[in-house]
Chain A
Amino acid sequence: MAKGIRDKVAILGMGCAKFGERWDKDEDQLMVEAYQEALADAGIEPSQIDAAWLGAAFDAQNIGPSGIPLAMALRLPDIGVTKVENYCASGTESFRGAVYAVASGACDIALAMGAEKLKDTGYGGLPVRTRGTTHDMVGITGSAPGNFAQLASAYRGVHGVGKDDLKRAMAHVSVKSHANGAKNPKAHLQKAVTMEQVLNAPMIAEPLGLFDCCGVSDGAACAIVTTPEIARSLGKTDIVTVKALQLATSNGWEMQGSGWNGSYFHTTRVAATKAYDEAGITDPRSQLSLIEVHDCFSVTELVTMEDLHISKEGQGWRDILDGFFDADGELPCQIDGGLKCFGHPIGASGLRMIYENYLQILGRAGERQRQDSPVFALSHNLGGMPNQNVSSIAIIGRADA
């Protein structure tokens, strides 16, 4: 394996807009909201930014093509700006561009922005999207919940888990995220819910009910990255570095081969293994302090606990019901409310997760701050659908860890 980028890049500043139904703002305004916080945190001038990346998924409906929308919104100094799209991993993908630019030495300071204005599409849930002329002729025009819901039927079959047990574990995921989101002033949904509410909610896609599905939100999140040396020269003392960045993209094996059983994300397993190697983590269950995973749906979070090699295969649902991933559990997952309640503006989500991990490591997470000084924090995105997807993992941590 390549040497990797562990500790080569530091996060200089981060910012995040309030997520939600931002009827009052355009996407450029949301980006500025996140940018101003990040810029102030970084303590630099805009003229010091060497390059920028913009992650956005649903360009046709709102932001438009190319890097121009970001360059114009932030009035960047005529630098190179690249727009990236990789489904729900688009935010982490923009981070990857900025981090790799710094790690390579091509840039001293780079900016990553992720943004999405879903509430201007008019849809409840994600808009219907083409996947290209050829795919549209043979593929399914299903919905995101419909695609992810299929994990449940396969998981039950593979692991012999009863329908009610799985539904309760899924419900626990949602109850937990709602409880966490209630403590987060930037979250879209800030109201706790009960197990009964979740279990009795209307069905969206069997077996996912309304509360098993994440919010569809407007939002933006931003990171400014540099080298640890430059960060120190700029006066930073408490430094958070990037420990690993890994991305795995389906090559069609899951859908066209025959080895996959439908109950897990092959790409997450691949990306996680590589990310732990890059970060030097040998036992993620004990070494990770916090995780933010792509909980687009409750069942996704459940299987992801296994794909990240934190729970044993077929046992993730038990860990969830045991409270292992609760805010006061051994390894909090979605301490900020997650996609479920912080919200899911597609292009912003990856950076929103890193933002929360960054705040927690620096002890700046307010009421929801974990008191045991987090060291390593992982964030994970999934784009696409279980049988064909992209999976990204970013691990950040204290520079001295």
Chain B
Amino acid sequence: MSDFGILAFGAYVPITRLQRGAIHATNKWFASGLGGLAKGEKAVANWDEDSVTMAVEAARDVLDGIDRTRVERVVIASTTLPFADRQNAGIVKEALNLPDAVGAMDVTGSQRAATSALLAALGGTETTLLAAAEIATPKPASEREMTSGDAAAALLVGRGTPIATLVARHSVTVDFVDHFREAGAAHDYDWEARWVRDEGFARILVPAVATLLGKAGVTGDAIDRFIVPVAVKGVPEMLAKQAGIAPDAIADTLAPVLGHSGAAHPLVMLSAALETAKPGERILLASFGQGCDLMLFEVTAAIGSVKPRLGVSGWLARRVESTNYAKYLFHRGLLQLDRGMRAEHDSKTALTALWRNRKAVLGLVGGRCTKTGTVQFPKSEISVGGNDHAVGTQEDYPLAEVPATVLTWTADALTYSPDPPSYYGNIDFVGGGRMMAEFVDFAGSALDAGAQLRMMFRIKAFDENRGFRRYFWKAAPAF
């Protein structure tokens, strides 16, 4: 048995589940044909989330209880990366407070980005943290708006005790353009679904699956789980039938409860499958986009030895229903509201200061006085009052994974927030350290002095004048 493979898995799904019926209720006067898709719900990222923040949360999910210094390379895969020229994986690395001596790479440009990155990691020698995240902004009243959802997944791939090893792989590359999005464009352009099904999925995936099975020396009935991250109904069933894979091996596409999370979806589905996988199971993972990537995994006896913090099922259980389609549109920049003068505040970031303070800002690293043990945020040359005023005694003290409680709070309707009122207050970290934090993902009534918190990596502000986004940590209800 190889000692190289998938070592651990995790995921992230935003808390808000927009009801598809609410989308249709607004748009049916215009697009009545979407009624058939107006069932269930889709996960939508908050205004302060993007592919980077979601990748960070998925990575934290996979790294729960794992020594982070094992990570030698950070890869993030997405077609919706926030920066075209600033390494997005580098931001993830800083947020995870990993050592500087790690490699990093962004993989993008196709719905196969995540599986191609996974194949690269599996074919390499380094222990790679691979996170895939997607936040889609389909055109309002489109079919894609109904079927898509925002999510992320992450895998730790490398040497150790794998929970799943790669048995066979097969890739096909052809410039089959079923949909596309020009660089910098907001929305995808989609071609007819039936053509995509018949000429794409059927003609490209069917023979590719057969080839993979041949490479592995197995027949379809040897497959225990068949992961086909395709939003079009009937396609997984058609592929399974052609390949001789049992219908009950077809993995849940999560369409009714999450939606299709684009390039991230193969990994989201794989992560979900690994939650319940048994030793010896064979998992066939497919992805589609200008060809396809196919991988056959065998689950090892080590499955169950590692668990994500929440995993897909845990994140799906953490949900707040929303029927506020207008709020969703506003958060995606599809509805212009009068934001008032307070939204005009210039959020220019001094890149010099960001570099100097990157550990505190991106990694939420505070200081601990080596003389008194007192923890503070941020770190400072002279320790805070009550801490001996010791000079130059502070060592790095990461706070992102430390639980906290609410000391004071308010719900501020005056300050500008894309999601008013703005909740914020002073929080105390368990074991010391205090800061003023914004609260996220709170249903108002749950917030009170003493409430327990968990920190989350989010967008703090947008510098709209210069196209920069500022990240920092916010406090969410403990989970």
Contact = CB atoms under 8 A, between A and B. Distances in A.
A235 interface: no
Nearest to A144: B414
Contacts of B344: 128
Contacts of B412: 142-143, 145-146, 149, 204-206
Interface stretch (B174-182, B296-304, B381-389): B381-389
Nearest to A261: B407
Interface stretch (A75-83, A84-92, A182-190, A247-255): A247-255
Nearest to B364: A138
A286 interface: no
B436 A140 contact: yes
Interface in A115-147: 122-123, 125, 127-128, 130, 133-134, 136-143, 145-147
B313 interface: no
Contacts of B449: 153-154, 156-157
Given A136-B347, A262-B407, A157 B341 contact: no
A262 B407 CA distance: 7
A142 B414 CA distance: 8
A256 B353 contact: no
A146 B448 contact: no
A206 B361 contact: no
Contacts of B426: 150, 255, 262, 387
Contacts of B88: none
A142 B415 contact: yes
Contacts of B415: 128, 141-143, 146
A151 B422 contact: no
A206 B407 contact: no
B186 interface: no
A73 interface: no
B326 interface: no
Contacts of B435: 138, 255
A257 interface: yes
A233 interface: no
Contacts of A146: 410, 412, 414-415, 422, 424
B378 interface: yes
A394 to B, nearest CB: 25
Interface string A48-59: 000000000000
A162 interface: no
B414 A255 contact: no
Contacts of B448: 153
A125 B414 contact: yes
Most buried by A among B413, B435, B448: B413
Interface in B249-306: none
Interface string B374-398: 1011101000111100000000000
Interface string A193-233: 00000000001111010000000000000000000000000
A253 B380 CA distance: 12
Interface in B433-478: 434-438, 448-450, 460-461, 470, 472
A371 interface: no
Contacts of A149: 410, 412
B407 A205 contact: no
A256 B408 CA distance: 14
A138 B386 contact: no
B87 interface: no
Given A137-B472, A146-B415, A154 B407 contact: yes
Nearest to A150: B408
A140 B413 contact: no
A152 to B, nearest CB: 8
A387 to B, nearest CB: 6
B349 interface: yes
Contact of A252 (B357, B385, B460): B385
B354 interface: yes
B341 to A, nearest CB: 6
B440 to A, nearest CB: 13
Contacts of A125: 414
B339 interface: no
A262 B427 CA distance: 10
A262 B408 contact: yes
Contacts of A204: 412-414
Nearest to A388: B436
A258 interface: yes
B461 A141 contact: yes
B461 A257 contact: no
Nearest to A156: B449
Contact of A137 (B346, B413, B450, B460): B460
A141 B422 CA distance: 10
B418 interface: no
Contacts of B413: 203-205
12 contacts: A128-B342, A133-B349, A140-B438, A142-B422, A152-B410, A153-B409, A153-B425, A205-B421, A255-B435, A256-B384, A262-B408, A387-B426
Top 7 A-B pairs, shortest CB-CB distance: A146-B412, A150-B408, A253-B385, A149-B410, A206-B411, A128-B345, A133-B350
Given A151-B408, A154-B407, A256-B380, 17 more contacts: A134-B353, A134-B357, A142-B415, A143-B415, A145-B410, A146-B422, A154-B449, A204-B412, A204-B414, A205-B410, A251-B384, A252-B380, A252-B385, A256-B384, A257-B384, A257-B387, A261-B407
